[in-house]
Structure 1
Amino acid sequence: MNTSRLEAFSDGVFAVAITLLVLQFVVPDVQSGKLLAALLGQWPQLVTYTASFLTVGVIWVNHHTIFKGLRAVDRTIQFINLILLMFVVLVPYPTQLLGRYLNSGFNASVAAAFYGVS
């Protein structure tokens, strides 16, 4: 099989994963004059979003570089790629978890460990 179908599928999965990252943000419903404080209160989500976006972006660039050098893929490469994509699409969950519990003492440690392992 040539690489174009696998690359197109992979690009779609990367796009979905990056899109899911932004869903952790909730538009604050605040009274007049309180929006800035509400936005500043979302700094943990912004930090984890940025880190995860860059991580997924780097993986995508590396994926593209690897596939640029291939002319065809076999079943083994397809399954290895599928496992990689499984982990890529998992990234939004630990991102949201860490963003929510970053200021929560021991919960922050657990969330950070889970984020790191993921």
Structure 2
Amino acid sequence: MEKETARIEAFSDGVFAIAITLLILEIQIPGPSGNLGSQLIKEWPFYVAFLISFAFIGIMWINHHRLFTHIKRSDNTLMILNLLLLLGVTSVPFPTVVLAQHLGHPDQAVAARVYNGTYFVIAIFFNVLWWYVNRAHLL
């Protein structure tokens, strides 16, 4: 018998996979100018932001996977709360680019707040999801 949450998990896995893949699209490939090394080094903020966001999305996926191994059944509220979490996950590429573009510039503090704020909202969504699953006896 298939687990009742299998479709939710499959959809969520797809969203996580797409979000983590979209992160790499902002890393620009330098054109042939004879100074490839220095051009690659100039892109360091994008590498750092990519690696941090990749790790964070990976950790979120692991936590999501572990949570859903305990959930026995689903309901509409669970699906809505899960969609809110996935909304946060799909937004991660945007603050990642904002952070990368502004590291080392005067607005880097604002960029860091946008980036951190995104993860704060995602953490709220995840905790509300966990709280609901416990309260609704879906475990």
User: TM-score band, normalised by the shorter chain?
Assistant: over 0.9
- Name the residue aligned to 1:99: 100
Equivalenced residues, count: 116
Return the TM-score normalized by structure 1: 0.95
Kindly provide the amino acid, as one letter, of the partner of residue 108 in structure 1: Q
The answer on whether the counterparts of 1:30 and 1:38 sit within 8 Å (CA) in structure 2 is no
The answer on whether the counterparts of 1:17 and 1:88 sit within 8 Å (CA) in structure 2 is yes
Structure 2 portions without partners, runs of 5+: 119-139
Return the TM-score normalized by structure 2: 0.81
What does the per-residue CA deviation read over 1:27-81, in whole Å, with 9 as the maximum and x for residues that have no partner? Answer: 011422x111111111100111111000000000000000011121111111110
- Name the residue aligned to 1:12: 14
* Percent of residue pairs identical: 41
| Larger RCO: 1 or 2 (CA < 8 Å, sep 6+) | 1
* Structure 1 residues 70-109: aligned runs within 5 Å: 70-105=71-106, 107-109=107-109
SS at match of 2:26: coil
Structure 1 portions without partners, runs of 5+: none
Counterpart-to-counterpart distance in 1, 2:28 and 2:54: 18
What does the per-residue CA deviation read over 1:57-112, in whole Å, with 9 as the maximum and x for residues that have no partner? Answer: 0000000000011121111111110000000000000000110111111x111111
- Name the residue aligned to 1:112: 112
Counterpart-to-counterpart distance in 1, 2:32 and 2:53: 28
Q: What is the Cα-based RMSD across aligned positions, in Å?
A: 1.1
